[in-house]
Structure 1
Amino acid sequence: MTRISKNQLLTIAKQLSDTQASILGLLGSHRFATTDQLARYHQPLYKSKNSAIRQTNRTTKHLANLGLIRHLNRRIGGSRSGSSGYIWHLTEAGQRLAGIDPKDPLPHLRPTNRWREPSLTFLTHTLAVTEVRIIFEETSHNQPLKIVSVETEPACWRQHISDYGQTETLKPDIAIITKQANYEDHWWCEIDLGSENPARITQKALTYLNHYNYGIEQQTRGIFPKVLWITPTKTRCNQLQKILTTSPKLPAGMHTASTLEQLPNLICQKQS
């Protein structure tokens, strides 16, 4: 495809609707999203789920024709899923329009001469992070819950200087602040796909305790977020909860586990 010039991008940007710009923004933040996820993200704009899917199909097709987004060859649910299973991402032109820094430390965002589809493992994890964001947004539409802020990688990462003078980086998958009535809840989310052993989970959980002990988050933001481990199945959730609450090395209340299904109820509960 011919490279879109800066002037062409400026012209396109002026013609984008709010929904089109919103789709570019979501893909810029999360890298990948399915048609279904994009439709659910914009569900309040439409009367029904089917209407949201139809309109999202039209919008993504238009953005693809403009050269701003494209879908992967693989689909969620295979060919039977139709267009709702398409997995979308920004093109190089879309990245430029969305204002993504080409020096971003995440290599899959860097424009390259040769496009390569991501590995299935990486894609599954990335879409799971997107799904968590969508569930938070859906909950805010259906419950008296407000989304105050969302930080995706690498904006949600935190750093401190160790006792040995080395920079250590804490890397949650996504950071979200919600608000109900007069109180806010701060969340750091870890997406678990069931592939990590208990020792690795404990080790990862301890990195949060280590960061807590340095006090950087408390000094700069006044609070240390709840660490929320999100996994697809109840069996894995129970396993995680046991690891996170019975280890003598981990403080009570810092970590909790949830399935995707349980997530809306959990984030609506007042946290201690």
Structure 2
Amino acid sequence: MSITRKYLNQLAPQLSPRDLAIIYEVGRFKLMTGGHLERLFFADCSDTSRARNRQAVLRRLTEHRVLARVGERRVGGAQRGSASFLYTLDVAGQHLSQSTSTRPRRPYSWYEPTIAHFLGIAELFVMLREVDQSGLFSLLDFQTEPYCWRTFGQRTLKPDAFAQIGIVLPDGRRRKGSFFIEVDRANQYGAKIETKVPQYLAYYQHDRLAQPERAFPRIVFLAPNDERAGYLSRLVQGWSEADRIFSVGLLEHPVLTLLGHRA
């Protein structure tokens, strides 16, 4: 199928607000599973119709070259069936994403080591959105790479994500917490992961000099298991001021870490 301007002009009016939201989220995370999209966009359907509706919508978007199954492969774990397929923006989706965001969306290029990383960040966002919908806190902002990066001097800090949450305390007061987040996949040891800590400390010191009164975001490392969390905890404890700005938690339970440290 040739994706021409005429084809896009005919397709665009057929897309629902949910279709456009799916394009936006898949575009900014580059790679998501059918399960992620089901939890984000079909949670209000009944248990019996949720999977069926998700399958129909994703099939339609795939047939229209809006989405593509990456490598026709499935992720492992508890997911089964089409919920475990990986999706990225196809050619039509890349063009249409310009209408869902002012920021350009680069297409995903197949590279095996990045798959778990991209999916980990997407999973974090989906979990935080689910908590937001439950009313425990409000997810005020969630930025992905490269939009969460921060430039200071001649250097660039490159967190995996930036999140901001709001919570109402029992006495009615409102509190807000901001976080730079590293979604750790237990595949960086030694010098590579160790460079992350001094980079954050350098940015912290730069920010304190520039705006000493501003609350600085908490830096959160989310690990896939307890063993890795222990390694990361020992890593950050070797630096001065680490307790002031760093937290380590589990990707499986990010809310516990975020709620434990809100400004």
Query: TM-score over 0.5 for the alignment?
Result: yes
Equivalent pair of 1:231/1:259 in contact (CA under 8 Å): yes
Stretches of structure 2 lacking an aligned partner (at least 5 in a row): 169-173
Q: Deviations over 1:61-107 (max 9, x none)?
A: 111111111101221129x9321111000012211111189x96x8x
Decide whether aligned partners of structure 1 residues 144 and 217 sit closer, same or farther in structure 2, where only a CA change above 3 A counts. farther
Q: Find the counterpart in structure 2 of residue 269 from structure 1.
A: 260
Q: Find the counterpart in structure 1 of residue 171 from structure 2.
A: none
Say if 2:243 is the partner of 1:256: no
* Residue type at the aligned position of 2:32: A
Alignment of 1:19-30 (within 5 A): 19-30=18-29
Q: Find the counterpart in structure 1 of residue 33 from structure 2.
A: 34
Say if 2:49 is the partner of 1:55: no
Where 1:172 maps in the other structure, the secondary structure is coil
Equivalent pair of 2:225/2:250 in contact (CA under 8 Å): yes
Q: Please state how far the C-alpha of 1:238 moved relative to its aligned partner.
A: 1.9
Equivalent pair of 2:176/2:262 in contact (CA under 8 Å): no
Q: Find the counterpart in structure 2 of residue 175 from structure 1.
A: 162
Equivalent pair of 2:42/2:54 in contact (CA under 8 Å): no
Stretches of structure 1 lacking an aligned partner (at least 5 in a row): 111-115, 162-166
Where 1:179 maps in the other structure, the secondary structure is strand
**TM-score, with normalisation over the residues of structure 2?**
0.86
Q: Give the Cα separation in 1 of the matches to 2:209 and 2:248.
A: 22
Say if 2:134 is the partner of 1:134: no
Decide whether aligned partners of structure 1 residues 51 and 255 sit closer, same or farther in structure 2, where only a CA change above 3 A counts. farther
Q: Give the Cα separation in 1 of the matches to 2:43 and 2:250.
A: 24
Q: Please state how far the C-alpha of 1:45 moved relative to its aligned partner.
A: 2.2
Decide whether aligned partners of structure 1 residues 96 and 214 sit closer, same or farther in structure 2, where only a CA change above 3 A counts. same
Say if 2:192 is the partner of 1:222: no
Decide whether aligned partners of structure 1 residues 220 and 51 sit closer, same or farther in structure 2, where only a CA change above 3 A counts. farther
Q: Please state how far the C-alpha of 1:198 moved relative to its aligned partner.
A: 4.5
Q: Give the Cα separation in 2 of the matches to 1:266 and 1:43.
A: 27
Alignment of 1:195-210 (within 5 A): 195-210=187-202
Q: Give the Cα separation in 1 of the matches to 2:127 and 2:186.
A: 20
Q: Please state how far the C-alpha of 1:234 moved relative to its aligned partner.
A: 1.4
**TM-score, with normalisation over the residues of structure 1?**
0.84
Q: Find the counterpart in structure 1 of residue 4 from structure 2.
A: 4
Q: Give the Cα separation in 2 of the matches to 1:92 and 1:69.
A: 8
Match of 1:232 among 198, 203, 224: 224
Q: What count of residue pairs does the alignment treat as equivalent? A: 255
Decide whether aligned partners of structure 1 residues 54 and 219 sit closer, same or farther in structure 2, where only a CA change above 3 A counts. farther
Decide whether aligned partners of structure 1 residues 216 and 51 sit closer, same or farther in structure 2, where only a CA change above 3 A counts. farther
Decide whether aligned partners of structure 1 residues 19 and 94 sit closer, same or farther in structure 2, where only a CA change above 3 A counts. same
Equivalent pair of 2:27/2:94 in contact (CA under 8 Å): yes
Q: Find the counterpart in structure 1 of residue 80 from structure 2.
A: 81
Identity %: 22
Equivalent pair of 1:191/1:229 in contact (CA under 8 Å): yes
Decide whether aligned partners of structure 1 residues 249 and 197 sit closer, same or farther in structure 2, where only a CA change above 3 A counts. farther
Aligned-pair Cα RMSD in Å: 2.8
Where 2:123 maps in the other structure, the secondary structure is helix
Where 2:182 maps in the other structure, the secondary structure is strand
Q: Deviations over 1:41-72 (max 9, x none)?
A: 12442233x53322111111111111111101
Q: Deviations over 1:100-146 (max 9, x none)?
A: 89x96x8xx25xxxxx9612211111111111111111111224211
Match of 2:113 among 117, 121, 140: 121
